[in-house]
Structure 1
C-alpha cells in the first residue's frame, strides 16, 4: 500500500517539485499540499496522511512552531525540509529535538545527477518515516559510564552507523560514554551542513570531543569524528596512527556517507581491534560492513528492535549471522566500554 504524503511548503515551485519526485515512485501517493500550517492543519484532519513533509521557514506560522504543536496534539511522522545552509542545519537539529523523524534539504537549484540523487534520498526518507515509531521528544535521563583508567587503548577503534532515529539514539549513547573512549568514527545519514550542526550538538552532551571529520584527521582516544553529509568517510592506517579520509564517490546503498563504506574500511584498517555498532535506520546499509568487521576478528553489535525507531539496518545486520550482541540502546554504551576494557 502506498505511503500517503501531505506536502507543506509556502513555495509553489517547491510543492510542485516535491509532487513530481514523490509521484514518480509507485510506493508514494501525494494526497495533498498546503502553503502554510493553517491550511495544513485542516488537511491533516481531512486527509489523514501517513507522513508530512514540512518546510521550516514559512509565513504566518513557522514550521518549528507548527511542529511543536503537531507533536503535542497529533503526533505523526514528519520529514522536515530545510535550506542547505549552516542556519538551515541548526533549524533542522531543533526540528529533530521537537520530534521530526527525518531532516532533508529542499530541492532548489539541483540539476541532472544532483537532482536524481536528491530524489532518491527524499523518497527513502519518506518511506522510512512511514514505518518509524514516533517517539516523545523528552527521554528519561541516562547515567554516564565511568572510564577505566587502565585502558589507554590507542589501538582500539569504535565504529557507529545509523539512519532514521539515529540522531536521538546517538545523543543518548554519547551522553553515557566516558571521556576516554577509543577513537570513534560515525556515519549518520544526513545532508551536508546538517552534520556540522549535529556534531556540535553531540559534543555538547558528550564527555569526549565530537566534531565533523576533515580529510586527514588523525583518530585518537577521546575523539569521535562524524562523517560530513554528502561525503564518504574511510579509516586508514598510517604507521601507528589511524587517519580518516573523505571521498566524493557514488551513492552506496543509496547513501553518501554510507555506513558500509566506513565499516569495510574499519575492517581493513583495524581488524580485531574494531568494535562496530549498527543503530536504528531503514534499509541494509552497514550489513556488508558488519560482516567484514566480524570476519576480520572485530566485535559487532546491533540495536534491538524494541528500542529502534526503524528496525531495518540492525535487522539486516543480524540476518548476516555476523552480529555478536543484540542490545537495547541503553546497554550499548556499556558494551562498548566493556569491550574496550577486555581488549586493553
Structure 2
C-alpha cells in the first residue's frame, strides 16, 4: 500500500517525496509556523493508524514527517536542503558589498553550510578570523582560504614561489615596516606597486607605500606561511634596515631642502595638520590633547583641591574665594576643549 497516496493524498511520483510535498506545503515555503501547523495536522491524522495492522507503516511515516519538519524549521539545514533541490539564494554581502569569505568557500564547494556554522562558532570562541578558523580546523587548506579571501576583497591571489621581487622595490621599504605589517613589495606593474599581503592593508600603510614609491598600490593576497618565508629570505637580519627613496620622492625631498636653505625637509609635527601626521604622531597628538583638556580643569581648581586635602593650606588660602576657581574652570576648560577638538586635532 502506498501510504503517501492513501493517507496523505500525495499523487503518484517520486518515493519518498521531498520534504515539502510530504508536509503538503508549497515548495521552498519559508514560514516555519505554517510548516509546523501542517506537520501537526498530518501527525494527528497518521496516528489514527498507529494501532492495528498498519502500526509499522504508521510509525515509519510519523518519523519521516518529524524529520522533514525538523529540517525545514532549521534555517541552516533548510538552506542546504533547498539548494540540493535547485533553489538559488541571493548572495549575502557585507556593508561594502563584498561576499563573506565563508560564503565564497561554500559556493566553491570547499565547505558545507554545516561546516560554515561550525567555523563561525569556533572563530567566535577563539577570537579568530573566519579564514584562520577554517584553516586551524583543517577544513580548508591555507591556499584555498587565501584564494577565498582574495575573491571576497576583489584582489588577485598569487603564489610567492612564482614571484621574483625586484631589488629596487625591496629597498624602498625598511625591514622593520615589512615585519611589523607582514607584506612584501614585489614590483611596479601597470603604474602600480604590487604588494603581497595576507589581508587587506590598512589605509595608512597604503599611503606610506605610495609616498615611498611614488605610485599607487595594488595588493595581492598570499598565504601567511609564504609571507613569513619571503620576509626571512629578502629581509634577513641586517638587510634593508634603511629604506631608499624612489626617484620621485628623492626629487621632492631635494627641492624642499633647497627651498628651506639647509633646514629640515619635512615639517615638524607641530606644523602639520592632523591628517598629515603619521600614525605614531597622531597617537602622540591625541595624548597631548587629552592632557591639555585635563589640565584646563585641574589647574584652575588647584586652590580648591588644596583646601580640601590640607587644613593648613585651607587656612592660608582662606582669602581666596572658591567661586574664582569655578569661574576660571568654566571659562578655560570649554575654550581648551574647543581648541583641541577643532584646531589641534584637525
TM-score between the two structures when normalised by the length of structure 1: 0.22
Q: Whose RCO is larger (CA < 8 A, sep 6+)? A: 1
Higher strand share: 1
TM-score between the two structures when normalised by the length of structure 2: 0.22
Question: Larger C-alpha radius of gyration, 1 or 2?
Answer: 2
